[in-house]
Structure 1
Amino acid sequence: MSSIPTPPAEPGDSPDAYVGLESGAAERLAYERGWSTVRSLPPGAIITMEYRVGRLNFEVKDGRVVRAWKG
């Protein structure tokens, strides 16, 4: 039987560090810090809830990140 693969490691920074940043700058910074996917969403967007390792989600209002979370 083959072993269970180990998921890739996520960057160690906190999603809270992106709150308040301009959305474009936050996205560039997230990629620089090693996030493989960055998703920017408007407030109240309907999204799927599957967890994706390496993805960082931003809720963006008026061009600024108001909420950020992993997955």
Structure 2
Amino acid sequence: MAPIPFESNEPDDDPEAYAGMPVTAAEERARSRGWTTVRVLPPDAVVTMEYVAGRLNLTAEDDTVVRGWKG
């Protein structure tokens, strides 16, 4: 993979730690920790592969986060 051409200001936060949290609480926590964008997706959602620095992606089912990842 090519190096990132600019320094990102991503939070020092573990996206996987959001699993099991209610969606609303996870969104509030993410924003308070510095994520600029929080995207909540249904399971098996089709998403583009572009990487956006500062974005936290959350997969949620039944109002509970099941997965979190950067980008």
- Give your verdict on TM over 0.5: yes
Q: 1:66 matched to which residue of 2?
A: 66
Q: CA deviation at 1:39?
A: 0.1
Supply the AA of the counterpart residue of 1:66. Answer: V
TM-score by length of 1: 0.89
Q: Is the 8 A contact 1:19 1:65 kept in 2?
A: yes
- The equivalent residue for 2:8 is 8
Instruction: Spell out, residue by residue over 1:1-25, the C-alpha distance to the aligned partner (whole angstroms, 9 max, x if none).
Output: xxxx733311001001111000011
- Determine what percentage of the aligned residue pairs are the same residue: 55
Q: May I ask how many residue pairs the two structures share in their alignment?
A: 67
3-state DSSP class of the match of 1:6? coil
Query: Where does structure 1 lack aligned partners over 5 or more consecutive residues?
Result: none
Question: SS where residue 25 of structure 1 aligns?
Answer: helix
After superposition, where does 1:1-71 map in structure 2 within 5 Å? Answer: 6-71=6-71
Conserved? CA contact 1:7–1:53, under 8 Å: no
Instruction: Give TM-score, length-normalised by structure 2.
Output: 0.89
Give how far 1:51 is off: 0.4
Structure number with larger C-alpha Rg: 1
